[in-house]
Amino acid sequence: MTNVRIAGTGLTPFGEHSGRTGRDLFAEAGLDAVDGAGVDPADVDRLYYGNFMGELAEHQGHQGPLVAEAVGTTAPATRVEAACASGGVAVREGVEAIRSGTADVVLVGGAERMTDMGTEGATDGLSIAADDLYEIGAGITFPGAYALMASAYVEANDVDADDLAHVAVKNHGNALPNEKAHFRSEITIEDAVEAPRVATPLGLYDACPISDGAAAVVLVSEDYAEANDVEAPVSVTGTGQGGDRLALQDRDSLWRTPAAEDAAAEAYADAGIESSDVDCAEVHDCFTIAEVLATEALGFFEPGEGLAAARDGRTARDGDLPVNLSGGLKAKGHPVGATGVAQIAELTELLAGEHARSDAVENASVGVAHNAGGTVATATVHVLQAEDAEVDA
């Protein structure tokens, strides 16, 4: 099985791109990734593209060939839809295409155009990741669903929901030097705690913004990299995906995310690492509580202890396990289909020492990306390792 290398990355700024089409956003990120990789677009064997709400936002289905055309290829192109995990699943498809030997160069990307829908339209669009009959019909919004998970977490573990503010403050701070981030402003614990509630106990600062944007990475086989002198010091060494019942009401626990636990176990075994080997992580913090649940599912903290760990600074830039150095979805933004791919791009730059926050993880060799769909009915985990990284198994 061939090693899968990351040859190039591309990101548009995340934020408001009023009037721009998804195809144009993707073309910007995709061409950046291809150019940075030094790969001829004609060499692209496959394209996997994450997108969630293209029909609602842009009246556009069948986006695979549309975005392939936008970057100058007619390679077989497939749109991948797994709600907010669309990008992560697209990355996994790309990794598996190379590992199976059917492709040497895969362009993986994702984009979402959301801000033109307005708050009500985007709230409606995001909600369709839930069960239409039993959840949306019962008034569940995306923030509402995570609010129920947060309520259950607080109740089960006898902790203070106000402590979630530490996650928001940290991620806003991490995003300050990130030129691609949607929010580049510091906030205080007080700002977060006193902000209006969106769905109790979650307030305005517990939620990620509605963003437009695109992300892309070029994956290549080791053989291709060596034959074509492609510089690609970071590899994807592990991939995992897990699933769960769609509706929150049908889960055994409202605050455990077994889909992510399964994805992590699979990805760690694939890479031959353990959670204690991880130097930094980009996790799916669509809401502050989601980051807490992610750090537990990834095995960094015991179930029920993630919130205290965040409050105590263990996931901060100077903590023992920095999480979301990019700013995360919370401050960097969450153009849904792009998110899982953007995490890979940010981690690649962090591990290569080329990120605005690389100084927080000097000599880091192992990074992990966690991407969740809906209320974590889908989850992907990817392990990235810098070349010649020494890992204690």
45-60 core/surface letters (b: 16 or more CB in 10 A; e: else): bbbbbbbbbbebbbee
Beta-carbon neighbour count of residue 173 at 10 Å?
Answer: 16
Residue window 216-255: x/- pattern of binding to another protein, with contact defined by CB under 8 A: -----------------------------x-xxxx---x-
- With CB under 8 A as the contact rule, the residue among 134, 258, 303, 317 that binds another protein is 134
Nearer to another protein, 19 or 139 (CB): 139
Q: What's the CA gap between 98 and 121, in Å, rounded?
A: 38
Taking the least distance from each CB to another protein, the nearer of 148 and 167 is 148
Report the C-alpha gap between 112 and 262 in whole angstroms.
Answer: 27
d(CA 94, CA 293): 27
Site for another protein in 154-183 (CB under 8 A): 155
The residue from 334, 355, 370, 382 that is catalytic is 334
Q: Is there binding between residue 135 and another protein (CB under 8 A)?
A: yes
Query: Which residue in 383, 69, 108 sits closest to 220, CA to CA?
Result: 108
Q: Which stretch binds another protein (CB under 8 A): 4-12, 122-130, 164-172, 363-371?
A: 122-130
Comparing CB distances to another protein, the nearer of 246 and 386 is 246
Between CA 221 and CA 316 the distance in angstroms is 34
Quick one: which segment of 64-72, 118-126, 211-219, 266-274 binds another protein (CB under 8 A)?
118-126
Active site residue 334: yes
**H or E segment and range at residue 261:** helix 258-271
320 φ/ψ angles, rounded to the nearest 5 degrees: -75, -15
Choosing from 18, 119, 363, 393, the residue that interacts with another protein (CB under 8 A) is 119
> Is residue 200 within the footprint of another protein (CB under 8 A)?
yes
Q: Is 18 in the site for another protein (CB under 8 A)?
A: no
Among the listed residues 65, 5, 15, 62, the one whose alpha carbon sits nearest the alpha carbon of residue 39: 5
Token pair listed for 82: 């797994």
150 vs 342 by CB, closer to another protein:
150
Annotated catalytic residue 286: no
With beta carbons less than 8 A apart as the criterion, state whether 329 and 370 touch.
Answer: no
- Residue from 115, 151, 211, 375 touching another protein (CB under 8 A): that is 151
Q: Which pair of tokens denotes residue 240? A: 């995992």
Binding site residues, another protein, CB under 8 A: 119-121, 123-124, 127, 133-141, 143-144, 147-149, 151-152, 155, 196-202, 245, 247-250, 254
- By annotation, the residues acting in catalysis are 84, 334
